[in-house]
Structure 1
């Protein structure tokens, strides 16, 4: 099996690559930044907005992990070209190559202006907090379109805070461990149909429901709670009205729109 991973030089991809490696699987790494391939890896230096380059990279591929694009807020023109147009380029190249399985790296920022709640479902409609959030809502819409039009199996992962450990108190609720991220991707690669799923670990304090993840076979194993005493001692508990805890997008909802972060 050969999997094309876009954005392969990025931070989340770097955590995923060793966890997704296994005999019988080749990871084809695509990024505008040159990457050094390891065992069972191939590297392609290309831009996700270049249709010809992406079509060439799609040859012989069985599935796509689309992690390419800007990972933080940028001016609108940059977000439109790289994140939105780039996603359409990847999906269209997959369609043309007969690749029917695509996993999209969406984000909680597609729904960032929704207030936090108890076990919020992944079916929450878009309410983006930034141009970046708009691009993730558009990514989900494009995935839905390519599923309904062409029968592609597409899973959009609304990823929270994916890191080796939660960086702050808010992340005790939104953390996705690298190990659980890999388990989520594996479940998404086996799923059929179109799904939007929260990218979150089994955190004691989680705001988001795991029900949709369970539907595709995702069973997280990690819980951010073991980091809670140290983080709370260092940072304290934010007030409930603070954007970091009041809204799903946190501080993205109050930062300058369209500025490069």
Structure 2
């Protein structure tokens, strides 16, 4: 599809939203409409509202060409908070898209939707995108819901969605685990742009990371959208391994895709 002209970016004040609100207009020319529960620095026209504010969401979605949905709680929290922000909030977002006749959404899913999947060891195949949901937290569970909700809105209402199971999108990886799941901000923008512009996606689920040497999952479906990652976390490997050591498959924190989210109680770094 042609590149959307006006893009609703929810979660615009968050960490990933901040990165994308700089990269997407500057590199790809998007005109952004910004939405967040918190004020967006330097953006007085941003819509400051909660995802439970259906009126504000309807107004935000009116007239846009596509939506990049990054809003919600990005760590584990009590179920009631996850329910309100990530489950009911994502439903409200899709209802606003339906009412405004927006036909393309890119949904920020997460590796934590499949977090209890064992990580591949040396010689194992990478994890396919059709691996069954195995959420590691209420947060991961909410991402399973979002993927399934997106599928429903495609089948019932014709709203196309690419659900991106994001690993860790930071300027550089900070743990040895991130050497396998890191997505550079520039590659994040490349992937979101591909997801916004690919033809006939229906409902597609992809993993989101850079072309890492130690990659745990299959980037083939993302590449099929036109994604061409340019970065590799391996340039940070020597430093991180010297500081932290290699991953240990016998350590519960290292045994699954979800890392520390799979511990009890969960620990929060992505």
Q: Same fold (TM over 0.5)?
A: yes
The worse-fitting range, judged by mean Cα deviation, of 20-29 and 92-101 is: 20-29
Pair 1:56 & 2:32 matched: no
TM-score, normalization by structure 2: 0.91
Q: Which SS does the other structure have where 2:46 is aligned?
A: strand
| Aligned position for 1:195 | 204
Tell me the distance in 2 between the aligned counterparts of 1:42 and 1:2.
Answer: 14
Residues 136 and 261, structure 2, Cα contact 8 Å, conserved in 1? yes
| Aligned position for 2:240 | 231
Q: Which SS does the other structure have where 2:210 is aligned?
A: coil
Q: Which runs of 5+ in 2 are unaligned?
A: none
Q: Which digits, 9 at most, give the CA deviation of each residue in 1:112-159, with x for residues without a partner?
A: 011112321112221100000000000101011001111111000000
Runs of 4+ aligned residues of structure 1 deviating over 6 Å after TM superposition are none
| Aligned position for 1:174 | 181
Residues 102 and 154, structure 1, Cα contact 8 Å, conserved in 2? yes
Pair 1:150 & 2:157 matched: yes
Q: Which digits, 9 at most, give the CA deviation of each residue in 1:181-226, with x for residues without a partner?
A: 0000000001331110001110000001111111111111100000
State how 1:202-217 maps to structure 2 within 5 Å. Answer: 202-217=211-226
Tell me the distance in 1 between the aligned counterparts of 2:11 and 2:194.
Answer: 20
CA RMSD of aligned residues (A): 1.8
For residue 258 of structure 1, report the CA deviation from its aligned partner: 11
Residues 253 and 263, structure 2, Cα contact 8 Å, conserved in 1? no
2:265 is aligned, of 244, 256, 259, to 256
Tell me the distance in 2 between the aligned counterparts of 1:25 and 1:249.
Answer: 32
2:32 is aligned, of 27, 31, 46, to 27
| Aligned position for 1:159 | 166
Q: Which digits, 9 at most, give the CA deviation of each residue in 1:45-104, with x for residues without a partner?
A: 111121111001111111001000000000000001110000000011001100000000
TM-score, normalization by structure 1: 0.94
Pair 1:70 & 2:70 matched: no
State how 1:110-149 maps to structure 2 within 5 Å. Answer: 110-117=113-120, 118-149=125-156
Tell me the distance in 2 between the aligned counterparts of 1:123 and 1:217.
Answer: 19
Tell me the distance in 2 between the aligned counterparts of 1:231 and 1:258.
Answer: 19
Residues 74 and 258, structure 1, Cα contact 8 Å, conserved in 2? no
Q: Which SS does the other structure have where 1:176 is aligned?
A: coil
